[in-house]
Amino acid sequence: SYVLTQPPSVSVPPGNTARLTCGGDNIEDKTVHWYQQRPGQAPVLVIYSDTDRPSGIPERFSGSNSGNTATLTISRVEAGDEADYYCQVWDPTTDPRDPHVLFGGGTKLTVL
């Protein structure tokens, strides 16, 4: 079955750029979505369809998807960006008649 791989943790100083990766075999052929989950809260969609931002999400959040890696980039990182981030794809590859939704294991972003 398809697997999404995210680094467990990433740390960046405030004001810097955070690049959170999501690895998968030929992931560029899939549509990737990203979620932010702050402690004690429900997840929030921050990027959908690889690169699109829902209304209300700051322009500092952007996404890309190429080769075997999708990336969520957070520019000018703020203390409020400290959270867990999850990538997600739709996976029909195992059995197209029985599709699944897959999440990566998540990356904890720490703002130093």
Partner 1 sequence: EVRLVESGGAVIQPGGSLRLSCEGSGFTFGDYTMHWVRQAPGKGLEWVSLINWDAVKTYYADSVKGRFTTSRDNNKNSLFLQMNSLRTEDTALYYCVKDRRELYYGSGSSFNVWGQGTLVTVSS
Interface positions with partner 1 (CB under 8 A): 30-31, 33, 35, 37, 42-45, 48-49, 54, 84, 86, 88-90, 92, 98-106
Helices (H) and strands (E) in the chain, counts: 0, 9
CB of 81 to partner 1, least distance (A): 19
Instruction: For partner 1, give the closer residue by CB, 6 or 74.
Output: 6
Cα–Cα distance list, 69 to 14, 22, 30 (Å)? 25, 6, 11
CB of 64 to partner 1, least distance (A): 16
Side by side, the strands of the sheet bearing 61-66 are: 18-23, 69-74, 61-66
CB of 53 to partner 1, least distance (A): 12
Instruction: For partner 1, give the closer residue by CB, 11 or 31.
Output: 31
Whether the CA torsion 85, 90, 95, 98 is positive or negative: it is positive
